[in-house]
Structure 1
Amino acid sequence: MRQLKILFFSFLIITGLQGCSKESLNEPVLNTTVSVKLNGTQSQYDEVWIEITDVLLKVIDNENAPNCWLSLKTSDNHIYNYIDITKTFNLDLVNEVNIPSGMIYEIKLVFGDNNRLIYNGKPINLNTNSVYQSSSGVRIDENLESNEQYIFNLEFETNNSILETPNENYYILQPILSLL
């Protein structure tokens, strides 16, 4: 019986190896190019300074899967005044980054702690945490074809992303984004 098992597993291994050719093992990974741009909407505030530390693409539609998010990094300057970013000016968060082609399900911005606004000339810190940042993604559900260039234009809804609380000078950043 033991010899029969060894013979059976040997047969499986040999059959499996015949299906792998040297060419299939050396096939190049097919890439696509991705850019992510950001616009801001008009606001009642004098200035709104927001820190973005990363841009993520969800490449596996399962939060529990390891490596479901692919980091694209951001440009060198991470703190932006969203009042300056209007529909006539696009902020390049990620510019022509090569990634493996395939499905992406969501684009998410990761916000840092250096967020503040100026309202009636007065500086006010914007507080945020992981619960509020959970809305910082935009559902995409798009298959990125190889050798193509994709540009995703996001809009930061400035007024809707800032929550005033009953506590004086306590504002919360709850980023709301949409795909243009």
Structure 2
Amino acid sequence: MNLKKLRTYGLFCLTLIVFAFAQSCSNNNDTASRLQLKMVDAPGDYQEVNVEITDIQYNTTDSEAGWKSFTPASGYPINVDLTQLVAGNSLILADQIIPAGMMHQIRLVLGDNNTLKLEGIDELIPLDTPSALQSGLKLNLNTKLEGGFTYTFILDWVVSESVVEAGTTGMYNLKPVIKVNAEVNSGSISGLILDDAQNALDNVTVNLYDSNNEKVTDTMTGAQGNFLFQGISEGSYTIKVNENGYDEFTIEVEVSVGEVTDAGTLSLTPTP
């Protein structure tokens, strides 16, 4: 074979290899999606709410046999103080490439190392998990995952409804209430709360109401007075702040999909 034919043959083989590689990448993009689970907190009146997550599973077949586990980078268990997930802080529970297709449910399996800390009490109080939830808390997604796309779901853990006092025994039960929203179908609201002297107010509860005056969720300000609502559906909302020692403050905002609505600076006026 002369040099000219050898070069032509080599170029032909190289073209086949590049085409095969591109085709393989295309097929992978068509059959796989990236799924992220991000946890935030709608806080309650507690110093700490510590939960232990021992497994996170997903189901694409809508049958008990179809559950598969995510493999978080830090491994299991995942231990988190939910009260820290405010003012824009969040926790990535999972970030993984999975087969494209219908995503029916995810399931959080909790361990036994769940505790509560109340103001003025140094020791941690055990949080009992009802036996009905020991197999895991199922959350419905019912979303079709298209190949080659990234999907982020916001898991808003409503602590105020999740911690239940067991009568007058001094014990508490953990009955998780978690709202799920797709980040791609939602927006966010940010803002800053100051006093009349323009000092940042931290640990202030910020409430969010929909157009029907139904409470959607709440959050708390951070050390710099900032707050952030994530995973909020498109529409009109009212922010209400009822802080002891200050007049009630309300402001209306509009949320658009994929955008962060800036509520601006909310200056609270001291109550005479």
Q: If the TM-score is normalised by the length of the shorter chain, which range does it land in?
A: 0.7 to 0.9
Q: Show the counterpart of 1:117.
A: 116
Q: Show the counterpart of 1:33.
A: 34
User: Taking every aligned residue pair, what percent have the same amino acid on both sides?
Assistant: 28
Q: Show the counterpart of 1:85.
A: 85
Root-mean-square deviation (CA), in Å? 2.2
The offset of 1:56, in angstroms, is 1.2
- RCO higher in structure (CA 8 A, sep ≥6): 1
CA contact (8 A) 1:36 1:153 kept: yes
Quick one: structure 1 residues 108 and 44, their matched pair in 2 at CA, closer, same or farther if it must change by over 3 Å?
Answer: same
The offset of 1:117, in angstroms, is 0.6
Q: Show the counterpart of 1:132.
A: 133
> Which whole-Å deviations, capped at 9, do the CAs of 1:85-122 have from their partners, x for residues lacking one?
02511111112x11111111112211111100101224
Q: Show the counterpart of 1:70.
A: 68
What amino acid maps onto 2:69 in structure 1?
S
- Measured in 1, the distance between the counterparts of 2:67 and 2:87 equals 28
Q: Show the counterpart of 1:52.
A: 53
Q: Show the counterpart of 2:147.
A: 146
- Measured in 2, the distance between the counterparts of 1:44 and 1:174 equals 16
Q: Show the counterpart of 1:103.
A: 102
**Normalised by the size of structure 1, how large is the TM-score?**
0.76
Tell me which stretches of 4 or more aligned residues in structure 1 moved more than 3 Å. 26-29, 132-135
> Which whole-Å deviations, capped at 9, do the CAs of 1:12-64 have from their partners, x for residues lacking one?
xxxxxxxxxxxxxx99561111111000112111111001122211211123x
**Normalised by the size of structure 2, how large is the TM-score?**
0.51
CA contact (8 A) 1:40 1:83 kept: yes
Q: The residue matched to 1:160 in structure 2 has which SS?
A: helix
- Measured in 2, the distance between the counterparts of 1:124 and 1:75 equals 29
CA contact (8 A) 2:109 2:135 kept: no
- Measured in 2, the distance between the counterparts of 1:134 and 1:156 equals 18
